[in-house]
Chains A and B, each alone.
Chain A
Amino acid sequence: MKIDRDTVEQFKAGDDEAFSRIFRTFARGLFGTAIRILGDRGLSEDVVQETFVRLHGMRNRLEPDRPVGALLVRITANLAIDALRKRKREKWEALEPNASAEKATAPPIDAKIGTVDAINRAAGDLPPIYRAVLALRYGQDMTYEEIADVLRISVPAVALRLKRGKEQLRAALARQK
């Protein structure tokens, strides 16, 4: 999904139709990222709305050569993580990976058990720290460095969470078999 330079220029010049095109191009993907991190439809709607309001607010500072999609993903992910941190019932700090945590040993997910629905359901039940890295790595194709930057953690911490998240996902899907 890409938006061309002309659309960004038109948006910067105040063209509402260009803004609408940007919204229609990215809204669904951003909603997917938000809901996979937050696990809450209402909150995800708030996050996507705020993402586009912020984009509109910074339109004069946009550089047409820099991808708008990457910027939007970044804003959405940051807002979703912040919302998650604020939520009292899910204490982010308490869910930091524990180095001594028991390692799950289920085999890699195969096509037989790894349907789109089954993976999304199982991923939705993971702790938020794992949901976030999985959503950003696979849902938005972000690099380890980009994820580290958004989550404000180190690159090795991203690798560890991704590994643990996949292990838990494998275990959850294996149990469903």
Chain B
Amino acid sequence: MNCREAEELFDLHADGGLDAATSRSLENHLERCSSCRTAYDAVKAESELLRRALEADLSSAAQIARIEVRVYEGIRPALMVSIGEWVMAVLGILLGLLVLVWGSFDSTGVREAVSLSLNPRGGLLVAIPTVLVAALGVLAVIVVQPLLLRINEQE
């Protein structure tokens, strides 16, 4: 390796971008060539200056505090969506159960309700609203959740 070739590699070597074999070759040259060593040391010192400068904090306390508030504002809608999902799922199930129980305890009495539910027509009377309400609950979770997410993204 000659001085010209070595000089081309100073930046890469100082920044840790050289492969092991080329690094060794350059180091061998630097051991033999004092002018290249001096020039390389300047490049190496420059890298340290750049590191110190470009790591320096450019923010203010107020700015970081503002970002923190905004982070929590950004997270809250996601939490609300997940809480909303649970509330709707539970409501759907509760409503389904309510219709089921209501169908069993109407004025005709339990026994009649049971026999009614065993009867194909009576069973349908109880089953249809139950299935409908349960389906509404599931629909609410499937449809409303992406809707809430979309609104959140638009905001």
Contact = CB atoms under 8 A, between A and B. Distances in A.
Nearest to B52: A116
Interface residues of B, number: 31
Nearest to A20: B68
Nearest to B43: A108
Interface stretch (A3-11, A44-52, A87-95): A44-52
A154 interface: no
B57 interface: yes
A31 B67 contact: yes
Contacts of A32: 54-59
A166 B43 CA distance: 10
B49 A56 contact: no
If over half of B's interface residues share one DSSP class (helix, strand or loop), that class is named, otherwise mixed; here it is helix
Contact of B49 (A48, A57, A114, A159): A114
Contact of B66 (A45, A109, A163): A45
A52 B71 contact: yes
A143 B46 CA distance: 18
B63 A56 contact: no
B64 interface: yes
B50 interface: yes
Nearest to A136: B54
A109 B47 CA distance: 9
B7 to A, nearest CB: 11
Contacts of A114: 46, 49-50, 53
Contacts of A53: 71, 74-75, 78
If over half of A's interface residues share one DSSP class (helix, strand or loop), that class is named, otherwise mixed; here it is helix
A35 interface: yes
Interface in B76-114: 78
Given A108-B45, A138-B50, A49 B71 contact: yes
Contact of A107 (B11, B42, B59, B66): B42
14 contacts: A41-B63, A52-B67, A53-B71, A53-B74, A56-B75, A108-B42, A116-B52, A119-B49, A123-B54, A138-B47, A141-B51, A143-B16, A166-B46, A166-B50
Interface of B: 11-12, 15-17, 42-43, 45-47, 49-59, 63-64, 66-68, 70-71, 74-75, 78
Interface of A: 20, 23, 27-29, 31-32, 35-36, 41, 45, 48-50, 52-53, 56-57, 107-111, 114-116, 119-120, 123, 134-135, 137-139, 141, 143-144, 155, 158-159, 162-163, 166, 169-170
